[in-house]
Structure 1
Amino acid sequence: MNEQYLWPLAGVFLGWLLTVVSAAYRHRGNKEQLIGSLITKLIRVEHQIQLVVSACEGMKDFSDSWEAYESSRQDILQRYFMSPQSVSADLKSAIDKVAPFYPVLAIELEELYELLIKNKQNTLRESSKNQEAYIRMLSIYEVTLDVSQEKLQKYIRKLSLKHNILTYLQVRRIYRRKERSRATTSKSAEKLMSEIGKELKGSHNK
């Protein structure tokens, strides 16, 4: 082939190749950004669960009855779990945004999201009037909350690996650090219980 035709063809091919590479790079960058945002939302909710579990467990020692405990538990859930409302909305939005890239994973995350909403809305006020029934229902709820936290941690690790290896290593380090800092979480829970206890006491005195 004559050289005068070869160079223009090479230029066209090179231009097409650069366009493809650039588009692929933008696509990957956008996907990583969306996954990173979703990881952040999941970590925030997982942290809230840990705080709520610790606070609710500690409130058992401060409550005069199971009915009083259930009232305090509901207060903790409404204030500190999937709260404020933007936490729930942001998580749902983040799941929807990764769906085009990982449809099956998004379905699994949707199911987890629905479980989290049910955990927040769960009320045992009627059961609290019967000690035996309440303890049984509360135990089931606590197991469900533990399962939700385990699933959150599972998906956080899974998504961090999809994001990049550095993020995965950072997430592993975060969880190792969290295991070593249970005392800090307990102190936060104690402070939370103290604040709620004072408010409940004040409301009873009115």
Structure 2
Amino acid sequence: MLELSGINAFYGKAHVLSDLSFDMARGQVVALLGRNGAGKTTTMKSIMQLVRPRGGSVRFEGVDLVGLAPHKVAKLGLGYVPEERRIFTDLTVLENLEVGRQPRRQGTTFWTEDMLFDLFPNLAERRSNRGKALSGGEQQMLTIARTLMGNPSLVLLDEPSEGIAPVIVEQMARAILQLKSEGLTVLLSEQNLHFAKAVADEAVIIEHGTQKFAGTIADLDARPEVRDAYLSV
């Protein structure tokens, strides 16, 4: 469904991603793992064309995304949840969801407010609250819910467990597993290995923008030396 091949990305003269390659099948949850600054966010921005790769290809359902405008990438069925959340703080929860609404997309779940409130009960209780009244974890839930209103077939989640309370982290894990059961494909970037192992089928580890491991979670568990080398603090 998604294939990155030989991606190189730069910020000015700084070479951030070096020949990065991996792929995802439909319905998978894949965790992009690495320490802070490893290149995880840049990878997601390169997929969305917010950072334009210099060389290589990013193919989504057979379409090369390189060079497309980010809004055209989104219209193909990719949803991006940035680490910064970026909700509309002066709008209510319902109004934020309405901003993200897109027409029904063939072959994907058609998300409604009621379905999203079932997925994130905290938001149901606060549907009339303005975004600025929500906790950090609730803002993260709202960002994901707003993205789902676009009816994507693949969602990129950047650090979904970062900086939120443990009880919300558990709710987030259950929500991601529910998304998987709905047939959604998910790429999430994470530093929290425990969280990633709870939701992901496969993992890709990067260090300084270079792939160091790709395989199943069981494969990663069987190679503690890889975990210690690239994920330990």
Q: Same fold (TM over 0.5)?
A: no
TM-score (norm: length of structure 1):
0.25
Larger radius of gyration: 1
Q: So what's the TM-score if we normalise by structure 2? A: 0.23
Higher helix share: 1
